[in-house]
Structure 1
Amino acid sequence: MKDSPPEIRTVQVTRYVTPLREGGSLPAIVEADDDFLYVLKFRGAGQGIKALIAELISGEIARLLGLRVPELVFAHLDEAFGRTEPDEEIQDLLRFSEGLNLGLHYLSGAITYDALVNTVTPLLASQIVWLDCLVVNVDRTARNTNMLMWHKELWLIDHGAAFYFHHSWPNVEEQAKKPFVQIKDHVLLPKASELEAVDQAFKQILTPERLQAIVALVPDEWLAGEDSPFTTPEENRAAYVTFLETRLAHSEVFINAAQHARKALI
């Protein structure tokens, strides 16, 4: 694999198009100064900046592994942007989200993945299940698949629920060695019959240097919260890297748990 440092473009939000009233985060479709539409994830939403960090790290890991993820961009929201918004709830959200947010390129015409209609190969199912075990993503269930079909290909979206432990930051290394029990609810688990082969392949790709490069993308301002147990952004980034490296070194734990859960389903 050819190595090149991951890069995230920065755009300026120019127009609020429409809210996507799904869940509590209230993302929206916006237009930016590059004339593209994005699904904007707001720093002022319910889960706050931690959801943006999870989205960024998980999405770029998925991309590095060859999975399809819409382009992620840093989206700057100007101080005066929400002043003309008539909806008070949206106006508050815009006001609390001034500064750097995260956008996903809007896949116009995409439809939600339906396990009863759309076919996924065992290899692709295993790759996605493995990814979600790595980043402890609890939000890829039959009720909410967070996958889209676009131009007959499967795309992954919305990883804001990954790394759920970072809302309280328990012991990172202990957390990394735990099985992922929520995998039993994963919509693709019944098809994930190639987890061991995927584990070997993906661990070769996710070198410490590549993981560090992805985590380094997280802006300092997202790591400077008053509730952070870390003294510096560098310490915070190091905690994410430690979690990922430790989890990879003990991947047999989450592989075995996923395989046992799959046997119970089939």
Structure 2
Amino acid sequence: MLPDVVATRYVTPLREGGSLPGIVEAENLGTYVVKFRGAGQGPKALVAEVISGELARRLGLPVPELVVVELDPVVARAEPDEEVQELIKASAGANLGMDYLPGSLGYDPVAHPVDAELASRVLVFDAFVENVDRSWRNPNLLIWHGDLWLIDHGATLYFHHNWPRAAAVVHRPYKWDDHVLKPYATALPSARDFVVPQLTGEVLDDVLALVPDEWLAEFDFDSPSAARSAYREHLLARAAAPDAWVPA
């Protein structure tokens, strides 16, 4: 299971994107960027964050620690913004937290060249999970202590927004023309050889087990186990057809 922490103080909203994440302090003295289940994107964005983020970690890609943040709406009592108050009230219970990287910088492809192998592995990973949010306009990459970090995977796995059509898009090619790391991703064959063999049922089972049941129980399936089986089936089918989606 992901670590479970209890929020003790809502610090400030991050006015980036449509989900209005916020910085929250927890009882373990950690500080986290929290995505709220009550946001417009709903629990599916949190499910995508866990599956894709933890899969990236198992592929050796740098992702900040993910936790489940238990939220009592009382933490919003000192927040003057009514929109934030309503969001927190709608998000009681389990939310998704990502370790806050203080002093990190947004990624600049000109100022921060990336090793070819790392850039290529990130691109192949993004192709597998169909990440539409790694463009030069919105890289969702940070530089922290000189290293590259991957953040914000809520827009991945977008097949799960239309399960009746999920099987039809297993072989969907990945559009990577505007991927922010494309200029540096010159080692795609070796990255493919590294990433694809690791996309196994065992690894997916490990990752899917980390998704809280209550997020999976809120949509589409009769039980969390049925939801996990559907994700597993789709992702294994995609992993078995790399010629369809690995950029070349």
Please give the range of the TM-score, normalised by the shorter of the 2 chains: over 0.9
Alpha-carbon contact 1:172-1:239 (below 8 Å) kept: no
Identify the residue that residue 166 of structure 1 maps to in structure 2.
160
Q: Is the counterpart of residue 199 in structure 1 residue 178 in structure 2?
A: no
Among all aligned residue pairs of Structure 1 and Structure 2, give the percentage whose two residues are the same amino acid: 51
Number of equivalent positions: 248
SS at 1:81 equivalent = helix
Which residue number in structure 2 is paired with residue 147 of structure 1? Answer: 141
Aligned match for 2:225, one of 212, 234, 243 = 234
- For residue 245 of structure 1, the aligned residue among 228, 236, 247 is 236
Distance 1:180 1:236 in 2: 24
Are 1:78 and 2:72 an aligned pair? yes
CA RMSD in angstroms, aligned pairs only: 1.2
SS at match of 2:243: helix
Alpha-carbon offset, residue 204 of structure 1: 2.4
Higher deviation after alignment, 161-170 or 76-85:
76-85
Instruction: Specify the SS of the correspondent of 1:104.
Output: strand
SS of the residue aligned with 2:244?
helix
Helix, strand or coil: the match of 1:35?
Answer: coil
Task: Give the residue type in structure 2 aligned to 1:240.
Answer: Y
**Aligned partner (choices 193, 215, 218) of residue 211 of structure 2:** 218
Residue type at the aligned position of 2:132: V
SS in 1 for 2:75: coil
Alpha-carbon offset, residue 172 of structure 1:
2.7
Q: Distance in 2 between matches of 1:148 and 1:213?
A: 26
State the match for 1:177 in structure 2. Answer: 171
Match of 2:179 among 180, 186, 200: 186
CA distance in 2, matches of 1:142, 1:134: 19
**C-alpha deviations, 1:33-67, integer Å up to 9, x for none?**
01011001100112111110111111001100001
Distance in 2 separating the partners of 1:190 and 1:118:
12
Q: What TM-score do the two structures reach when normalised by structure 2?
A: 0.96
Aligned counterparts of 2:90 and 2:160: Cα–Cα separation in 1: 21
Q: Aligned equivalents of 1:83 and 1:69: distance in 2?
A: 31
SS in 2 for 1:59: helix
Report the 3-state secondary structure (helix = DSSP H, G, I; strand = E; otherwise coil) of the residue aligned with 2:63.
coil
- State the Cα distance separating 1:175 from its structure 2 match: 1.6
Q: Following TM superposition, by how much is the alpha carbon of 1:83 offset from its aligned partner in structure 2, in angstroms?
A: 3.5
Within 5 Å, which residues of 2 pair with 1:9-48?
A: 9-48=3-42
Within a 5 Å distance, the mapping from 1:86-105 to structure 2 comes to 86-105=80-99
Unaligned runs of 5+ in 2: none
Q: Which runs of 5+ in 1 are unaligned?
A: 1-6, 260-266
Which runs of 4 or more aligned residues in structure 1 lie more than 3 Å from their structure 2 counterparts after TM superposition? none
Report the Cα distance in structure 2 between the residues aligned to 1:84 and 1:154, rounded to whole angstroms.
Answer: 35
* Letter of the structure 2 residue corresponding to residue 153 of structure 1: D
Pick aligned residue for 1:106 from 97, 100, 111: 100
Supply the AA of the counterpart residue of 1:57: I
- Structure-1-length-normalised TM-score: 0.90
